């Protein structure tokens, strides 16, 4: 890929005017590519529901339990760019199949882990093979669907896989945790990945970069040294606070990132063409992608707790409340494909992000007193908007590069997704935790150790309340739920501000019609 000629969005659209249209085999191939998207998305959501069971069985230390959660996105984010480039070189379908075999095997290892350390190792390996899976799915679509309008529809379908997986995870995971052992949540991967291994060689066309150039090991190492410390620092600040460890991690990541960019700028055929970020529509779409996921994951973070710990629903029933939002996201993703031919994508992305802001306004106004129908409706509003913005931003990202470089561009999109998920949980989760701690009033008579535990999380307070005398326990539980609701209000206000900023960003950067 030339590093001197930057792609313009209008030129990209023109180049695909006479592009061949996808065949029936390609559409069946799209269905096959939905399988890894679903399982990786499900894997992101089910673990939080299983943690209490894992803690009882494997008895990890507090630090180990935190790492069991964090190691997966940390490894995934660190390797996405490298894996995207590797897929461009050895073949995206080949790397997809390698990732599927590895992910399935390690899922069995995770399911039958006999120690916390074994589960931690399995989660790290799941991040490795998940990084092999995800860029391949989007980059294969780039080669299968050369026609711009068909590709938009394919990406819309692909994007809904994340929403569907996010909704399926709590429902199916909740059912399994109620009726089977905790390791069964990891075995969910097998029914998805076995059909992928059988059908992908038949229905999915292989694609690769015909002239990849030499494999830049130094750039690969620098990319890992950039993303891993930054993701770790974000999660560390959210869970422990801003300290020397966080500062050092940020500095290491930024220093490695600086060296990474400088190295890429000196090469004619780099691991990733960072000059693409000089194109406003590309950069704006990457940031919209990140902020969209930020809004979606951030809302899920406090909604899942509210529905279970405040309203008192089971994990499965809490997941069912969010199902209408999943259907709404699918509808929004598919509808925007038709509308974008008449309205420029920057306007549509801004409208979608504004809908996310409206959902946060609902929770800012109602606090924790919203009824279940209101919660379901607000989540559906946000889902329609996020589905629309995600579809268009991903389309612009992959259309900005030639098909030969689709893996690297897809990796940028996936990295934005992972960073958005980490930031959504960390930033909005941190605001929620701070609001909860500031507003919790511990009744007199609660022992100091119990008061300290109650001050950490709502779940901790409810656990303490169960072992206190009835009247004192009820008072603590009521105070904790009220404090959590206060935190929801503060979190929602931040969500409104971020959604508004993202909408302005979309309008300012994505100006062309994109075909």
Of 268, 291, 308, which residue is a domain's last? 268
Cα-based distances in Å from 90 to 35, 49, 85, 227, 335 = 22, 37, 9, 23, 36
pLDDT tens-place string over residues 145-165: 888 888 888 888 887 777 677
Could you tell me if 244 and 209 lie in one domain?
no
pLDDT tens-place string over residues 212-255: 767 788 988 998 899 888 888 877 776 677 889 989 999 999 99
Better pLDDT: 298 or 195: 195
Q: What number is the average pLDDT over the span 400-424? A: 76
Q: What number is the average pLDDT over the span 441-467? A: 84
Could you tell me if 431 and 480 lie in one domain?
yes
Range of the domain at 256: 214-268
Could you tell me if 366 and 485 lie in one domain?
yes
Residue 244 lies in a domain: yes
Better pLDDT: 6 or 111: 111
The total number of structural domains that make up the chain: 3
| pLDDT confidence tier of residue 505, bands split at 50, 70 and 90 | very high
Q: Kindly give, in sequence order, each residue whose CB lies less than 8 Å from that of residue 285, ignoring residues fewer than 6 positions away.
A: 392, 393, 394, 396, 397, 509, 510
Q: What number is the average pLDDT over the span 48-57? A: 77
Residue 70 lies in a domain: yes
Nearest-5° Cα angle at 305, 302 to 310: 115
pLDDT score, position 512? 63
Give percent above pLDDT 70 in the chain. 92
| pLDDT confidence tier of residue 467, bands split at 50, 70 and 90 | confident
Residue 480 lies in a domain: yes
Q: What number is the average pLDDT over the span 56-76? A: 79
List the structure tokens of 406. 């689709």
Q: Is residue 203 predicted with pLDDT exceeding 80? A: yes
Residue 57 lies in a domain: yes
Alpha helix stretches (DSSP H) within 180-322: 184-187, 189-203, 217-239, 244-265, 280-305, 315-321
pLDDT score, position 513? 57
- Residue 129 gets which letter from DSSP? H
Residue 354 lies in a domain: yes
Could you tell me if 209 and 220 lie in one domain?
no
Of the listed ranges 92-101, 137-146, 276-285, 397-406, the one predicted with least confidence? 397-406
């Amino acid at each position: 890929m030339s590093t001197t000629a930057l792609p313009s969005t209008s030129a990209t659209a023109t180049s695909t005017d006479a592009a061949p249209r996808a065949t029936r085999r390609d559409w069946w191939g799209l269905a096959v590519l939905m399988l890894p998207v679903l399982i990786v998305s499900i894997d992101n959501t089910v673990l939080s529901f299983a943690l209490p069971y894992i803690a009882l069985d494997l008895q990890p230390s507090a630090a180990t339990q935190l790492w069991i959660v964090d190691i997966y996105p940390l490894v995934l984010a660190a390797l996405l760019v490298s894996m995207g480039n590797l897929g461009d070189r050895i073949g995206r379908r080949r790397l997809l199949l390698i990732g599927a075999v590895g992910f399935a095997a390690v899922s069995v290892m995770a399911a039958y882990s006999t120690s916390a350390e074994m589960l931690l190792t399995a989660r790290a390996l799941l991040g490795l093979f998940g990084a092999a899976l995800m860029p391949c799915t989007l980059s294969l679509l780039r080669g299968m669907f050369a026609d711009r309008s068909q590709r938009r529809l394919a990406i819309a379908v692909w994007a809904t896989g994340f929403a569907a997986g996010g909704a399926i995870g709590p429902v199916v995971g909740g059912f399994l945790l109620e009726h089977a052992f905790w390791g069964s949540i990891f075995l969910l991967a097998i029914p998805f990945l076995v059909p992928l291994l059988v059908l992908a060689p038949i229905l999915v066309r292989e694609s690769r970069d015909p002239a990849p150039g030499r494999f830049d090991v130094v750039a690969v190492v620098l990319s890992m040294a950039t993303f891993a410390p930054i993701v770790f620092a974000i999660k560390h600040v959210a869970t422990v606070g801003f300290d020397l460890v966080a500062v050092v991690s940020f500095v290491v990541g930024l220093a490695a990132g600086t060296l990474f960019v400088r190295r890429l700028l000196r090469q004619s055929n780099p691991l990733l063409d960072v000059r693409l970020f000089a194109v406003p529509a590309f950069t704006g779409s990457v940031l919209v992608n990140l902020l969209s996921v930020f809004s979606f994951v951030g809302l899920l973070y406090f909604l899942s707790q509210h529905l279970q710990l405040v309203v008192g629903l089971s994990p499965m029933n809490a997941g069912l409340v969010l199902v209408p939002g999943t259907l709404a996201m699918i509808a929004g993703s598919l509808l925007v494909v038709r509308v974008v031919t008449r309205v420029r994508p920057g306007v549509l992305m801004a409208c979608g992000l504004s809908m996310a802001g409206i959902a946060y306004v609902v929770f800012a106004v109602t606090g924790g007193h919203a009824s279940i129908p209101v919660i379901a409706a607000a989540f559906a509003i946000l889902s329609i908007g996020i589905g629309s913005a995600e579809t268009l931003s991903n389309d612009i990202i992959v259309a900005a590069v030639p098909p030969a470089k689709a893996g690297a561009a897809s990796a940028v999109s996936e990295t934005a997704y992972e960073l958005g998920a980490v930031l959504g949980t960390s930033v909005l989760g941190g605001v929620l935790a701070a609001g909860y701690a500031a507003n919790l009033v511990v009744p007199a008579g609660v022992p100091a150790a119990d008061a300290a535990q109650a001050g950490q999380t709502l779940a901790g307070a409810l656990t303490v309340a169960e072992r206190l005398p009835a009247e004192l326990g009820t008072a603590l539980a009521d105070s904790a739920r009220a404090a959590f609701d206060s935190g929801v209000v503060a979190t929602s206000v931040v969500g409104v501000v971020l959604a508004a900023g993202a909408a302005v960003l979309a309008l300012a950067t994505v100006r062309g019609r994109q075909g």
